[in-house]
Structure 1
Amino acid sequence: MDTQAALDAAIVEWLARAHPVPQRPRREWATQGVALLPLGERFAAVRMPADVVHAAVETGDHDEVAVRLGTLLGGSIIYDRRVSGGTYYALVQGHTGLVWPYEDTAACLSFGTYLGVPRLDQQQPPGTYWVVPPRYEGDLVPPRSIVALLQAGRSRMTPEAERG
């Protein structure tokens, strides 16, 4: 097995182990391309509206958004276009929701919530896909990076008159 294949297998195993029955997400990835994984233990997810993200990175172009989010956030990010307006999910440490003060802009989903996580090789539309796939086991986004992104997006969305 080559190095990339071994790394991909380790990442898939890390994701699958988020589920109490790791065989289940493997089956779901094989049959549906997306598996429902419980949040809170292994990781949580910050749900970021596409309009805020696009304002922050100053583009809605799929490829440009991927590059800029990879640079700005540096961790695993999923995009789900099935949600109204589109939604980005940044994977963060499981305990982030306990201290997350930005629920009004981007909720932190944790215990009691399941997230549709695409198969690792699903990195383009259509459907749910990785905008920034995990590069290694435990590749999570630092919450402070998300805060900076949200602040930039909200600032750019606020009309000049309101900013003073």
Structure 2
Amino acid sequence: MNDTPCSAEEWLLSAHPTSPRLGRAEWREQNLTVLALGSLFSAVRIPGRIVQAVAASTDPADIDAMLHEALKGGPVICDVHGPRYYALVPAKVPRTWRDAADDWRKDDVACLGRGAYLGVPRLDAVEFPVRGTASYWSVPMEAAGVLCPPLSVARVIAAGAARLAEEQEERWPADAPPAPRRPGVPHARR
């Protein structure tokens, strides 16, 4: 790996719960290591349906491009089995976003911080599909400590939730208007 990913690699691996050396070995052998959240960085888990609604696509290339632009190049991990997206944010976000996080639970969004762990793919796992791993960098980490702007993450969540709500209203109106009555035919009772 070149110098830039190494500095990001070292920075990420310093969040390994046991040792950076073990994390590096796990990346080599399993393409994934588990890192502790809440000290160097935290993560916001966003369901695929929200991200797909913002991208207006299910194509990973379209989604990755939208996330790169919307999150200003901040790093995002995609778990392809959800899909679920994990935007890496400053460590304090779960504490400062407590009220917003409570509101977002209905949409299955979660702010993950101290006490939580995240499976992090190797830094060179940057394309979908990825052989041998269940996740990849939807938006690669460009440099150590460079994270997603929290306000940008909140905007993506709000836009996706709003689009999903609009689609739900269009497809499944809550109260259908009553059927017109034909003269001489009694109205059906429930």
- Residue 86 of structure 1 is matched in structure 2 by 83
Is it true that 1:135 corresponds to 2:142 in the alignment?
Answer: yes
- Residue 11 of structure 1 is matched in structure 2 by 8
Q: Distance in 2 between matches of 1:24 and 1:44?
A: 21
Post-superposition offset of 1:151: 0.9
Post-superposition offset of 1:27: 0.8
Moved more, 72-81 or 16-25: 16-25
- Residue 177 of structure 2 is matched in structure 1 by none
CA displacement 1:101-124 (0-9 Å, x = unmatched): 134131110111110000000112
Counterpart secondary structure, 1:108: strand
CA displacement 1:49-70 (0-9 Å, x = unmatched): 0001110121111111111100
- Residue 107 of structure 1 is matched in structure 2 by 110
Is it true that 1:48 corresponds to 2:55 in the alignment?
Answer: no
When the two structures are superposed, what TM-score results if normalisation uses the length of structure 2? 0.79
Counterpart secondary structure, 1:117: strand
Gaps of 5+ in 1: none
- Residue 151 of structure 1 is matched in structure 2 by 158
CA displacement 1:19-67 (0-9 Å, x = unmatched): 2411111011000000000000000000000001110121111111111
Q: Distance in 2 between matches of 1:29 and 1:19?
A: 12
- Residue 33 of structure 2 is matched in structure 1 by 35
Q: Distance in 2 between matches of 1:146 and 1:114?
A: 20
Post-superposition offset of 1:143: 1.0
Paired amino acid for 1:79: C
Q: Distance in 2 between matches of 1:152 and 1:114?
A: 27
- Residue 77 of structure 1 is matched in structure 2 by 76
Q: Distance in 2 between matches of 1:145 and 1:137?
A: 19
Q: 1:24 aligns with which of 22, 25, 28?
A: 22
- Residue 64 of structure 2 is matched in structure 1 by 66
Matched pairs, number: 157
Moved more, 58-67 or 41-50: 58-67
Counterpart secondary structure, 1:79: strand
